[in-house]
């Protein structure tokens, strides 16, 4: 068993090339891991290609990391990656892609809402010429109408305000060629919204629609605040349109305030109307103050991103990367796309 420890990024020379890497970022998913490995094995073994399962533990505290080490000790197709703490899904996903060595890389969530049985169809699309195979959700079983509606609206908002097309109703579940993965790995930014980066790198893309299943076990780790934060991260990472909206709102507020003030002056001079007094003043002041605070907060989001990028800290820190040595018979010729 080999172990690579404490490097922010693993050395390329330590990788064993395979045809397919399946990258699975996870956090506190111990309950679903046995089923995940069983289904992946059932799907991948009949394909007759070399593969690896890059399972990235993002600082779990439910025993997920220990379980991965145990499985990696007895199964050479499993690469157990443990981060030094919880860095977030986007960082864990980036770590998995850095460690992966496959000619093709599939990204899959540990909860099995995205069926691994579709990997064969994804590989066929890649062989037909696609560098990226995007999986579009046709239905979302096991999710509330509120979450489905908010996701529907968010993807369409992102598509409108971005200067490039971000596919609608797609998550992280997708396949990428090695050159697409290398392009993603070369991006230096620390504030990452992966769904946007997948689209930003371009390359020929094929879309497959599928029905999303309910979670196989455990509970979602995303709460309302987390989803709002992810949405804000996506919007501010790929568009400056919100800043323009804030400017437009400020201009509108100034115009309204000026018109209201002019109306009061004209009424007092020509008609002798008494000045309305404190209620109208407080209403206008409160409105303008709200616009200013909103604009300053929005500007702060962009400035904060710049601040963190200038620090140039690594996106993640590895605790260890563990994999058992492969036998010669276990490393057939990698897949050619």
- Domain co-membership, 77 together with 6: yes
Q: Based on the structure, what is the number of domains in the chain?
A: 2
- Domain co-membership, 230 together with 253: no
Element housing 20 (H / E): strand 18-26
Q: Measuring CA to CA, which residue among 169, 145, 148, 149 is closest to residue 159?
A: 169
State the alpha helices, DSSP H only, in the chain: 33-44, 64-74, 89-99, 119-127, 145-161, 178-185, 194-200, 224-238, 241-270, 278-311
- Domain co-membership, 213 together with 277: no
For residue 134, what are the β-bridge partners?
174, 207
Q: Establish how many alpha carbons lie within 13 A of residue 313's alpha carbon, considering only the half-sphere containing its beta carbon.
A: 11
- Residue 301: how many CB atoms within 10 A of its CB? 15
Q: In the prediction, which pLDDT does 91 show?
A: 87
Answer yes or no: are the C-beta atoms of 213 and 143 closer than 8 Å: no
Answer yes or no: are the C-beta atoms of 79 and 53 closer than 8 Å: yes
- Domain co-membership, 145 together with 252: no
pTM above 0.85, yes or no: no
CA distance 178 to 130: 12
- Domain co-membership, 76 together with 194: yes
- Domain co-membership, 212 together with 136: yes
For residue 132, what are the β-bridge partners?
176, 205
- Domain co-membership, 249 together with 135: no
Q: Measuring CA to CA, which residue among 173, 165, 179, 99 is closest to residue 131?
A: 179
Q: In the prediction, which pLDDT does 9 show?
A: 45
Residue 335 counted as domain residue: no
Residue 274 gets which letter from DSSP? P
CA distance 156 to 153: 5
- Domain co-membership, 220 together with 159: yes
Residue 336 counted as domain residue: no
- Domain co-membership, 17 together with 156: yes
Q: Measuring CA to CA, which residue among 283, 202, 294 is closest to residue 248?
A: 294
Instruction: Give me the numbers of helices (H) and strands (E) for the chain, helices first please.
Output: 10, 9
Phi, psi of 323 (to 5 degrees): -150, 140
- Domain co-membership, 32 together with 95: yes
Residue corresponding to tokens 């000790």: 73
Torsion, CA 144, CA 146, CA 152, CA 156, rounded to 10: -160
Going residue by residue through the chain (337 aa), what tens digit of pLDDT does each one get?
Answer: 554 444 444 443 456 788 999 999 999 888 889 999 999 999 999 988 999 999 999 989 888 989 999 999 889 999 999 999 988 888 899 899 999 989 999 999 888 888 899 999 999 888 888 888 988 887 766 566 666 666 666 666 666 666 667 666 677 888 999 998 998 888 877 777 777 788 778 888 888 888 887 765 656 555 566 656 656 666 666 666 676 676 677 777 667 666 766 766 666 666 666 555 556 666 667 666 777 777 777 777 777 767 666 777 788 889 888 888 765 444 455 565 4
Torsion, CA 23, CA 27, CA 31, CA 37, rounded to 10: 10
For residue 18, what are the β-bridge partners?
102
Q: In the prediction, which pLDDT does 67 show?
A: 92
- Domain co-membership, 233 together with 263: no
Answer yes or no: are the C-beta atoms of 208 and 125 closer than 8 Å: yes
Q: List the domain range (segments joined by +) for residue 270.
A: 241-311
- Domain co-membership, 98 together with 217: yes
């Amino acid at each position: 068993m080999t172990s690579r420890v404490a490097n922010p990024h693993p050395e390329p020379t330590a990788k064993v090339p395979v045809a397919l890497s399946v990258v699975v970022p996870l956090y506190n998913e111990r309950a679903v891991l046995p089923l995940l490995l069983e289904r992946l094995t059932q799907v991948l073994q009949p394909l007759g290609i070399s593969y690896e399962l890059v399972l990235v533990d993002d600082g779990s505290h439910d025993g997920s990391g220990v379980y991965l080490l145990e499985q990696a000790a007895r199964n050479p197709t499993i690469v157990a990656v443990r981060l030094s703490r919880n860095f977030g899904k986007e960082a864990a996903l980036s770590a998995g892609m850095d460690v992966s060595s496959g000619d093709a890389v599939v990204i899959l969530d540990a909860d099995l809402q995205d069926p691994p049985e579709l990997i064969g169809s994804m590989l066929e699309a890649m062989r037909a010429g696609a560098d990226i195979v995007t999986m579009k959700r046709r239905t979302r079983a096991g999710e509330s109408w509120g979450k489905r509606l908010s996701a529907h609206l968010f993807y369409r908002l992102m598509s409108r305000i971005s200067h490039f097309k971000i596919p609608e109703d797609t998550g992280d579940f997708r396949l990428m060629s090695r050159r697409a993965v290398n392009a993603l790995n070369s991006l230096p930014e620390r504030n990452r919204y992966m769904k946007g980066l997948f689209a930003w790198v371009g390359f020929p893309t094929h879309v497959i629609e599928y029905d999303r299943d309910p979670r196989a076990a455990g509970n979602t780790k995303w709460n309302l605040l987390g989803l709002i934060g992810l949405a804000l991260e996506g919007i501010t990472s790929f568009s400056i349109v919100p800043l323009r909206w804030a400017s437009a709102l400020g201009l509108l507020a100034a115009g309204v305030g000026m018109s209201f003030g002019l109306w009061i002056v004209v009424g007092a001079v020509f008609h002798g109307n008494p000045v309305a007094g404190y209620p109208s003043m407080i209403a206008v002041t409160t409105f303008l103050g709200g616009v200013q605070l909103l604009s300053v907060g929005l500007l702060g989001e962009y400035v904060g991103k710049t601040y963190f990028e200038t620090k140039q800290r690594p996106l993640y820190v590895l605790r260890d990367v563990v994999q058992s040595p492969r036998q010669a018979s276990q490393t057939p010729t990698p897949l050619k796309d």
